[in-house]
Amino acid sequence: MTGPDDGAGGAGMRRIVGPVRAIGEAMVEMAPVEGGLYRRGFAGDTFNTIWHLARWSGGAVEAGFVTRVGMDAVSAAFLAEMARDGLAVAGVSRDPALRMGLYVIELEGVERSFHYWRDTSAARHLADDPAALAAALAGAGLVHLSGITLAILSPAARETLFAALAEVRRGGGVVSFDPNIRLRLWASVAEMRDCMARMLEVTDIALPSLDDERTHFGDAVAEATVARMARAGVGEVVVKDGPAAVTLWQGGDTVTRATPAVTGIRDTTGAGDAFNAGYLAARVAGGGGLAAVRAGQAMAATVLRHHGARATKEAVAAMPAVTAFL
């Protein structure tokens, strides 16, 4: 079985040049820690990804998050933390009436479940203003978003987002998409499937999880997910499968890489988001497909050893440089 070039790209791989942006919802996270207590943090699938990418890149990449938050003190604390951690905040708009959503993590062993309060989240309106969204994405070399990003928007705002992503691609930018399907956020299965199909038409790099694709599209194996997304025009597909092997398809070549065993797991929250961060960080740094998969697995392993959806800054700093995986 042949595989993509493990060097600086690979046949057909889109080169990424320019700032990196993620679009989506950041929420207040209440994560359990020792002694029955909870730690307040900020998390959200695409925010987790861009935060880890930015921290691991060590300032070598201009990374920013596009969302909408409130005018309250908690929202201000989120913006201040973003800025301290090296993320661009120009793409974050403020809402005088709404606030950030909140979720609580409940752990059983290392497996997690979530309780959400997000109906009045300001992030639901992040794409209401076409001009502001276009300005936030102007010049981006990579834009990353997820199915949750799509699900929280109104139908009109989704159309605005699709148009903005098409414009990013016309300008030479690359669009990365993790379907991350949460059916309870959608009005119907039909709406979800229609939006997923529309999104794949403007996607360059797809980062699905096999469990989601099996549940909602009937894909028994990763190769079925690859085939469906390739037919939609996606050029690079990376299928995650928890602790099982990762399947990488690019330019007609498929390769699988076993996921190394991880010891000391404390919480599985955010592992897929972290994989996305490592994979995209390596691609932004010029790495090929297998190098990016290795980087994704390393970042996911780091997050698995921490409570909550994000590792500590110290833990990310202690990892080998992303360039070590190229």
Residue 181 domain flag: yes
Residue 168 domain flag: yes
Q: What is the DSSP letter of 2?
A: -
Whole-number percent of the chain with pLDDT over 70: 96
Domain encompassing residue 95: 20-316
Question: Which of 102-106, 218-222, 234-238 comes out lowest in average pLDDT?
Answer: 102-106
61, 86 Cβ separation under 8 angstroms: no
198, 162 Cβ separation under 8 angstroms: yes
Question: Which of 35-39, 76-80, 237-241 comes out lowest in average pLDDT?
Answer: 35-39
2, 225 Cβ separation under 8 angstroms: no
Q: With CA atoms as reference, report the closest residue to 146 among 232, 71, 212, 190.
A: 212
Question: Could you tell me the strand order of the sheet in which 142-146 lies?
Answer: 92-95, 63-70, 20-23, 142-146, 174-178, 205-206, 236-239, 246-250, 253-257
Given a cut of 50, whether residue 91 has pLDDT beyond it is yes
pLDDT value at residue 9: 41
Residue 138 domain flag: yes
Residue 323 domain flag: no
Other C-beta atoms lying within 10 Å of the C-beta of residue 31: 23
Q: Which residue has the higher pLDDT, 256 or 15?
A: 256
Q: Round to whole Å and give the CA distance between 253 and 223.
A: 11
20, 63 Cβ separation under 8 angstroms: yes
Question: Which of 7-11, 83-87, 316-320 comes out lowest in average pLDDT?
Answer: 7-11
Q: Which residues does 95 contact at the CB level (< 8 Å), separation at least 6?
A: 68, 69, 70, 71, 122, 125
Question: Which of 112-116, 248-252, 283-287 comes out lowest in average pLDDT?
Answer: 112-116
Give tens-digit pLDDT for 124-144. Answer: 999 999 999 999 999 999 999
Coil, strand or helix: which one is 167? helix
DSSP string, 197-249: HHHHTT-SEE--BHHHHHHHH---SHHHHHHHHHHTT-SEEEEB-TTS-EEEE
Whole-number percent of the chain with pLDDT over 90: 86
For residue 68, count CB atoms less than 10 angstroms from its CB and return exposed for 0-12, middle for 13-18, buried for 19 or more: buried
- Look up residue 212 and give its two tokens: 């989601």
Give tens-digit pLDDT for 240-257. Answer: 999 999 999 998 899 999
Q: What is the DSSP letter of 60?
A: S
Give tens-digit pLDDT for 20-60. Answer: 999 999 999 998 888 889 989 999 999 999 999 999 999 89
Residue 9 domain flag: no
Name the CA radius of gyration of the chain, rounded.
18
Residue 169 domain flag: yes
- What's the whole-number mean pLDDT along residues 10-24? 83
- Residue 8: pLDDT band (50, 70, 90) is very low
Domain count within the chain:
1
Give tens-digit pLDDT for 164-208. Answer: 999 999 999 999 999 999 999 999 999 999 999 999 999 999 999
pLDDT value at residue 105: 85
pLDDT value at residue 307: 82
Which regions of 55-165 does DSSP assign to beta strands (E)? 63-70, 92-95, 102-108, 111-117, 142-146
Element containing residue 151 per DSSP (H, E): helix 147-151
Report the first-to-last Cα separation within the chain, whole angstroms. 21
pLDDT value at residue 110: 66
pLDDT value at residue 251: 81
302, 277 Cβ separation under 8 angstroms: no
Residue 2 domain flag: no
Catalytic residues, by residue number, are 273
Q: Round to whole Å and give the CA distance between 103 and 42.
A: 10
Q: Which residues does 63 contact at the CB level (< 8 Å), separation at least 6?
A: 19, 20, 21, 22, 50, 53, 54, 57, 86, 87, 88
Residue 326 domain flag: no
CATH of the domain at 301: 3.40.1190.20
Given a cut of 80, whether residue 316 has pLDDT beyond it is yes
For residue 80, count CB atoms less than 10 angstroms from its CB and return exposed for 0-12, middle for 13-18, buried for 19 or more: exposed
- Look up residue 113 and give its two tokens: 């479940």
284, 243 Cβ separation under 8 angstroms: no
